[in-house]
Amino acid sequence: MRLADEILAANARHAAIFPGSLAPGPARRLVVVTCMDVRIDPLALAGLEPGDAHVLRNAGAVVTEDVLRSLFVSHSLLGTTAAIVVAHTECGLPRLLDPEVRARVEVETGLDPGALDLRPFADPAAEVRAGLRRIRESPLLPASYEAAGFVYDVATGRLAPVEEPGLAGS
């Protein structure tokens, strides 16, 4: 079966039990920024239900310019006031620093991996800290905007908080 046909067959089953539209604004006024890893359920890990939060995913839970753009839209148009950044154990992004993997990228793409904006990192907690800093420093979001960071353990389902040294009162 072609991909589109497979998806349409699955969609017909979805539509048959569709409960009706939710309100567009996240009920908990929250955004979850996390990795695309299949072992992460971004709502369940924080006790959230569909409709509670916006979810922004990419490879590595990196707070990119596009994530900041989406946080702005979420805040400005749909009323969210806080974000959590959730990286995780066993993430693939550190592998992009491996010379063997980089050599393979070069062979597969014909491009210099150093020139590609792949955003690899060695330490998920450090990357979360950097992401929180980008959120706090973004002129797109108000000073009252709240942000917290975690590393999710894919083996236990537990979140470990990422401390931010130098942040008063936390």
Binding site for Zn ion (CB under 5 A): 35, 37, 91
The nearer residue to Zn ion, 31 or 61, going by C-beta atoms, is 61
- Write down the least CB distance from residue 57 to Zn ion, Å: 9
- Write down the least CB distance from residue 31 to Zn ion, Å: 18
The nearer residue to Zn ion, 92 or 142, going by C-beta atoms, is 92
User: What ranges in 27-84 are assigned the alpha helix state H?
Assistant: 65-78
The nearer residue to Zn ion, 81 or 89, going by C-beta atoms, is 89
Dihedral sign for Cα atoms in the order 109, 110, 113, 117: negative
- Write down the least CB distance from residue 120 to Zn ion, Å: 11
* Residue type for position 93: L
- The strand order across the sheet containing 30-35 reads 53-58, 30-35, 82-88, 146-152, 159-161
Q: Are strands 159-161 and 146-152 parallel, antiparallel or unpaired?
A: antiparallel
- Write down the least CB distance from residue 34 to Zn ion, Å: 8
Q: DSSP states of 119-148 as a string? A: ---S-HHHHHHHHHHHHHH-TTS-TT-EEE
The nearer residue to Zn ion, 7 or 97, going by C-beta atoms, is 97
